[in-house]
Chain A
Amino acid sequence: MPQYVMVESRDPFESRDVPYFYNLARDLAAKGEKVTLFLVQNGALASRKNAKGNPLTGLLDSSVEILVDAFSLSERGIQDSEKLTAVKTSGIDDLVCRIMAEDGTKILWH
């Protein structure tokens, strides 16, 4: 079964098309696909638990695994305590591992 690694680099509060990317992740997972959403750059801003009207919360009851790049968090001064508990801190090395781990992995970048 192919797995999807979806990389979101944009802030949902800046780009109105980010929720569509989240929805795609959610829909793929609902169809039984293994989906990882990796938040990087300004995409990391969505990991903040106190963000109001955060569309990322729509994924929290799905099977999508949500990761956030530690470097991007650090650059933006976001502490672990400020992060949604469902979002796991990760890194570029982990992203590379996931991309290369299985043949047929589909990588989408937004």
Chain B
Amino acid sequence: MPKTLTMSIMEPPYEAAASTTAMRIIDAALRRGINVNVFAYEGAVSLAVKEQKPHPNPVHGTTVEEEKHPTTKEFVTSLFELAKEKGVKLDWINCGFCVDERGAVNWVEGPRRGGPADFHKWVQESDATIVIPTK
């Protein structure tokens, strides 16, 4: 039976290195055949927002295509695709109150709405839990 890792993340996109580290941990766990639960709290609910757009870099003089600016919504999508490819489960809950406060309601395919009670349940059922706080 595959093991399950639960993570709680709170950093909004494009603010801190913790979001990237969290994505790297999720990626590594899925590649190892570990089921992953992600509870996105506070600003982290915006990681999956669909309206995110890559941009050019006027400082470097690069176009959108040349810059290849990564968006966190693409990371989220690729993690769900990886889970499917590896035959493991990625469950991603965006905190409903946090979503409403921020108006961050339109997401890429994958995440679903929930609340802290879901996180509590996951913690009880999982083999390990990582809580990555904001700075």
Contact = CB atoms under 8 A, between A and B. Distances in A.
Contacts of B131: 107, 109
Interface in B1-34: 3, 5, 17-18, 21, 24-25, 27-29, 31-32, 34
A13 interface: no
Given A92-B28, A96-B28, A96-B32, A103 B21 contact: no
Contact of B17 (A9, A97, A99, A105): A9
A109 B17 CA distance: 14
A26 interface: no
Residue among B3, B24, B31 with max Cβ neighbours from chain A (10 Å):
B24
Main secondary structure of the interface of B (DSSP, over half): mixed
Interface residues of A, number: 18
Nearest to A9: B18
B133 A100 contact: no
Nearest to B129: A107
A57 interface: no
B51 interface: no
11 contacts: A40-B21, A41-B18, A71-B24, A92-B25, A96-B32, A96-B34, A97-B32, A99-B130, A100-B3, A103-B127, A107-B130
